[in-house]
Amino acid sequence: MGIILETQELTKYFGGLGAVRKVSFFLNEGEMLGMIGPNGAGKTTLFNLITGFLKPTGGNISFRGRRITGLKPHEIVRRGIARTFQLVRPFHQLTALENVIISCLSPREGGGEKKNGGVEEKAGRLLGNVGLSGKEGMLAKDLPHGDLKRLDLARALATEPQVLLLDEPFAGLGLMEISSLSPLIRKLSQEGHSIIIIEHKLREMMKLVARVITLNFGEKIADGTPEEISRDEKVIQAYLGKGGMTLATG
């Protein structure tokens, strides 16, 4: 199992503010990696750098050994990296099916079927895979928050990514919604997707991942198993608090 995604001293400054400072980490092929840290630690900024929404001030990003630093978002998607967003932004006046169809038309399809029938079939299958069967015709604006999270995931999967970046997939969800979404994320990993999850609901995330990296003030301060992270003094002081040791096992 080789490295599929890697950053080397990745840095982003906004004026004099170092949002991400010399962050180096790797993601193995088929791995599910957790990313944690306080609000403002640089997690979403790091996702934005990897996916081309921001250009780095310094450092390098490699995907399958090839430099992708500074490429535009659509170029990143074409290479096989997709993401979801903490704040879901669908096309509100389109149906769930139409939202996914748009993503199915990504150039990463490689000139495959562009006829409505083939694309609609694929979009419908993806909606079923994320638990939205029967809601294909609903407008996105009428879907509850939990279903919007699933729709966002289906849109990302429609581009057929090898690496999937999930930005707080459990945010705003209740325990029942999380308990149904977690197996779906685990299944995606088992099917071969390499996944990075940003999440503040640590107990739920720690059950999914084998390794966790921690950011604080734009810097990586720890990298290890959930058990190691939950006992790391720097992580406890910066983020977890004294109850952190129960997160990996609770």
What residues have CB less than 8 Å from 191, skipping those under 6 apart? none
Q: How far apart are CA 129 and CA 132, in angstroms?
A: 7
Along the 250 residues of the chain, how does pLDDT read in single tens digits? 799 999 999 999 999 999 999 999 999 999 999 999 999 999 999 999 999 999 999 999 999 999 999 999 999 999 999 999 988 889 999 999 999 999 988 765 343 444 445 899 999 999 999 989 999 999 999 999 989 999 999 999 999 999 999 999 998 888 888 988 899 999 999 999 999 999 999 999 999 999 999 999 999 999 999 999 999 999 999 888 766 556 654 5
pLDDT for res 248: 55
| Helices first, then strands: H and E counts in the chain | 9, 10
**Ranges of H-type helices in the chain:** 43-50, 73-79, 96-104, 116-129, 145-157, 175-190, 202-206, 226-230, 233-235
Contacts 24+ apart (CB under 8 A), 208-211: 208/32, 208/34, 208/182, 209/32, 209/33, 209/34, 210/31, 210/32, 210/33, 211/31, 211/33, 211/34
Q: What is the 3-state secondary structure (H, E, C) of 61-107?
A: EEECCEECCCCCHHHHHHHCEEECCCCCCCCCCCEHHHHHHHHHCCH
SS3 232: coil
pLDDT for res 112: 43
Domains of the chain: 1-80+161-250 (3.40.50.300), 91-160 (no CATH)
pLDDT for res 176: 87
Q: Angle at which helices 116-129 and 145-157 pack, to 10 degrees?
A: 130
Token pair of 170 as six digits: 């459990």
Token pair of 94 as six digits: 């389109």
SS3 48: helix
Token pair of 52 as six digits: 């081309």
pLDDT for res 74: 93
